[in-house]
Amino acid sequence: MKFLGGLPAAVMLAGTLLATTAAIAAPKTTLVVGMAAQDVGKLDPQMAVSTIDRTAVAWMFNGLVRFAPGSVNPATIGPDLAEKWEFSPDKKVWTFHLRHGVKWHGDYGEMTADDVVFSLNKAADPKRSAFAGDFAAFDKVEALDPYTVRITLKHPVPSLLGIVTNYSGGYIISKKAYEALGDKFNSHPIGSGPFEFVSVTPNQSLELKANEAYFRGSPKIKTISYRFLPSNASRDLAFQSGELDLEFGIADQTWVDRTKKLPHAIVDVFEPAEEAILNLNETQKPLDDIRVRQAIAYAVNRPELIAWQGKDVSREPKSVIPGGNLGYVDAGLLPHDIAKAKKLLAEAGYPNGLTIKVIHTQLPGMLAQMQVVQAQLKKAGINLDLQIVEHATFHQMIRKDLSPIVFYSAARFPVADVYLTQFYDSASTVGTPTAITNFSHCKVADAEIHAARTEPDDAKQIALWQTAQKKIVADVCAVPLVETLQAWVRTDKLDYGYDLKGSLSLGPLITETTQFK
């Protein structure tokens, strides 16, 4: 009796043990990500401008074409929603053949040419897109049949595929969902990617679930919890305590070294690099004198900046556009030479040095970089009188030409045309109706930048971009400082399913192949 009475208990114990073993053996399918954020902003991919929003929309949306996961090299661009495409000899008419049977998240049916036409037209509309400028060359987008889309351009562009890739304005959204949801689409996005939107808890987290009908197969990760944790210190602590599997890091050697030492941590440092540049306003005194601009260029000490920021996360810039861009060239930057800087200043009429008022942001990372530059310039007798303002104010003030020197750090689509156009084409000069981010009022390379845009011959196009960079460097419109890569940390159990070398969304892509080991 006693024996029999013990039996059920033994069976239960064995059962529990088995269940426990199974639970241990089955890999985790919930990914918890820690992001340096207060909240998400816009989840409509064509309105998503911050790293916070971009990282997440990249998991939910597709483009007509895409970069190979883990790469930012335009040469790896391959099919995504479009299976194949062809273009006319003058590269002005592009025809895309869409994949059949791609389902939108939720009950929004199948993706067709109508959605693509709608998305690209929306992306080109400044009222409904933050990236309308990228679509300036678009003449019309038409659906030839439900699975064929034709894009006609006003003139050839350097990289049409770059515009319709899985990045910025290139993401394709569901027309039906956008029309049904209206403004709510921003907080309830409908895409076709491996993960679909579930909910947002303001200031806490964004929750996603696997899109089981994803056309590349059902994702191995089943849910993603994207947590907003603005404090760097406590985000790191949460990673250490195992509450996070993946975390947005800090591009700083101390952080990288410390984090690498943690058990089960893998630090990923990847492209694109954001290039920090001093933009010198050539139309304002005393920077209208090229000798003063040259003096600043000679006074800047790039190797010192890199040693300070850290070798793992920094790269020395060699041109006025970030390294790795198509068309990039070593443009012959002026070397560090304090004596020459002083001599040039004296020639320009400032033998005792000079003081320049500079408006700068209080964002800690950017402020620290600028303070190093401030100390370097001081050695040559150039005093930067930093006026520190709050970040949103900084952005507003520099767009009104209020700071003769503008420190700006940015990564762009990696084709020379984009960076050159936004920062050095006179049409982009701040204060003009077509302003983007030309803070230096640079105009020396307009001819090359414009000619390259429509140059059909690839080699000639690259040569034009290279000449443009050399001219900008010679005129000292801008002084490159340092290139900073992206840094994240993940648990060694998390396998992306691809080799992470770069990500244009600035966060790691989570794909259908990403899994826990």
- Closer residue to another protein, CB minimum distance, 129 or 314: 129
CA–CA distance from 19 to each of 13, 26, 241, 419 (Å)?
Answer: 10, 10, 26, 56
Q: Which CB, 297 or 430, lies closer to another protein?
A: 430
- 262 in contact with another protein (CB under 8 A): no
Q: What CA–CA distance (Å, rounded) separates 391 from 52?
A: 16
- Contact call for residue 436 and another protein (CB under 8 A): yes
Q: Does 38 bind another protein (CB under 8 A)?
A: yes
Q: Does 362 bind another protein (CB under 8 A)?
A: no
Instruction: List the structure tokens of 318.
Output: 């060699």
> Taken in order 363, 365, 366, 368, is the CA torsion positive or negative?
positive
Nearest-10 Cα torsion for 60, 64, 69, 75: -160
Cβ at position 427, least distance to another protein in Å: 11
Cis status, amide bond into 322, omega within 30 of 0 = no
Using CB under 8 A, which residues numbered 41 to 70 contact another protein? 41-42, 47, 49-50
Other residues' Cβ atoms within 10 Å of the Cβ of residue 62: 27
Please give the size of the binding site for another protein, defined by CB under 8 A: 53
CB of 102 to another protein, least distance (A): 27
Segment near another protein (CB under 8 A), from 75-83, 97-105, 115-123, 431-439? 431-439
- Rounded to a whole number of angstroms, the minimum distance from the CB of residue 239 to another protein is 9
- Closest separation between CB of residue 352 and another protein, Å? 34
Does residue number 257 form part of the binding site for another protein (CB under 8 A)?
A: no
Answer whether 138's CB lies under 8 Å from 151's CB: yes
298's enclosing H/E stretch is helix 290-299
For residues 495 and 45, the answer to whether their CB atoms sit within 8 Å is no
**Two structure tokens written together for 50:** 């911050």
| 14, 393, 460, 492: residue in contact with another protein (rule CB under 8 A) | 393
Closer to another protein by CB, 120 or 306: give it. Answer: 120
Within residues 117-136, the interface with another protein by CB under 8 A covers 126-127, 129-133
Of 422, 426, 454, 513, which lies in the binding site for another protein, with binding defined by CB under 8 A?
422
Task: Give the whole-angstrom CA distance, residue 361 versus residue 390.
Answer: 6
DSSP code per residue over 451-467: HHHH---HHHHHHHHHH
Contacts to another protein by CB under 8 A: 38-42, 47, 49-50, 126-127, 129-133, 183-184, 186-187, 201-205, 227, 229-231, 233-235, 237-238, 240-241, 243-244, 389-393, 395-397, 399, 410, 422, 433-437
